Amino acid sequence: MIVKRFGALVIAVVLIVGALAVRGRLDKKEDLEGSPLRVVCATELGVACQRLSKLGFEVTTEDAQETARTLAKADRGSVKTELWLTVEPAAALVDTDRALRGVKPLLTRESVTPVATTDLALVIWKDRAAVLRKACPTVTLTVRCVGEVAGRDAWSASGGRPEWGQVRVALPDPELTAAGLLALGAGAQSWFKSADVGSNDFDADPGFGDWLAGLARATPRGGSLARMLANRAEFDLAIAPRALADEQKGLADVSVLALEPSTQVRAVAVVLPGSRGSPKDLEGAVKWTAAAVKGTPLAADVLEALRLRWRDLSR
């Protein structure tokens, strides 16, 4: 008799839990139907942002670093958006900033989910590519050598035609984008020939500061792959996520080249405090072809130190 009563009790509990779960899903569905999920989407993921908007999300498109700065200063109860589709290290920089100010973390490891991965590549006009290949004779181009050619100012200093003038690099702004900041990080790893670089290394080697300054001189503000392709006279080469660079392979006068060190570019879905959503809501928005990437980016605090140096050089 006791066994039967216990069994009945277990069944009753299971039914109640199941009913609550179904009720929860229905409540969430009704909630979402009443008002769409609020998503902030990084500008550098423009196509994905458009997809989310067409699917009915309430989308705000904003530079990744701008969102990171806003969240770094936010109280948990004052976050107005629910999901953030961005590129690392933007999400990691939120709590790096908060830690420096002695503020409790806003995000947890579970709240940040990778949704797509690629690496960095170089897009360059073919005539410039031929000159760059001779100036950088290694099998795979290093970010260090690309920066060295840019730092010589004129193409003629690397064997190019005098009429080409100065080397102009379309680098996504590290002050605004994660991709631009990752490119600087890859440059530091390339310079020091190590994946493990600390901010103290920047001061230990004055040559690195000169290299970074030369790259900054060759990088006009507002550079991007799209602007380079729209106006050949404005830029000579661009550093961009490979998933975007590979889309240009069909162009007759453009070369897409691999860069060393191989640097992982990760798009992530971030669930913010108080959100009704989950990472699954953003699955499929970023349609990058998966790339096998060996290298890992620098730590978020080191990248932040590098960003501050870049800001001083770019003023």
Please state which of the ranges 148-162, 212-226, 265-279, 284-298 shows the lowest mean pLDDT: 284-298
In this structure, which amino acid lies at residue 273? Answer: P
Q: Both tokens of residue 96?
A: 């790096």
Query: pLDDT per residue over 216-271, tens digit each?
Result: 999 999 999 999 999 999 999 999 999 989 888 888 899 999 999 999 999 999 99
Domain 118-266+289-314: CATH superfamily, name plus number: Periplasmic binding protein-like II (3.40.190.10)
Backbone angles phi, psi at 210, to 5 degrees: -65, -40
Mean of the per-residue pLDDT values for the chain? 88
Query: pLDDT per residue over 46-67, tens digit each?
Result: 999 999 999 999 999 999 999 9
Distance between CA atoms of residues 97 and 106, nearest Å: 11
Distance between CA atoms of residues 285 and 287, nearest Å: 6
Say what the pLDDT of residue 314 is.
85
Quote the crossing angle between the two packed helices 126-135 and 143-151, to the nearest 10°.
Answer: 100
Residues of the chain with CATH 3.40.190.10: 118-266+289-314
Residue 107 has pLDDT above 90, yes or no: yes
Distance between CA atoms of residues 261 and 194, nearest Å: 9
Query: pLDDT per residue over 134-159, tens digit each?
Result: 999 888 899 999 999 999 999 999 99
**Model's pTM, two decimal places?**
0.84
Say what the pLDDT of residue 249 is.
80
Q: Which residue has the higher pLDDT, 286 or 294?
A: 286
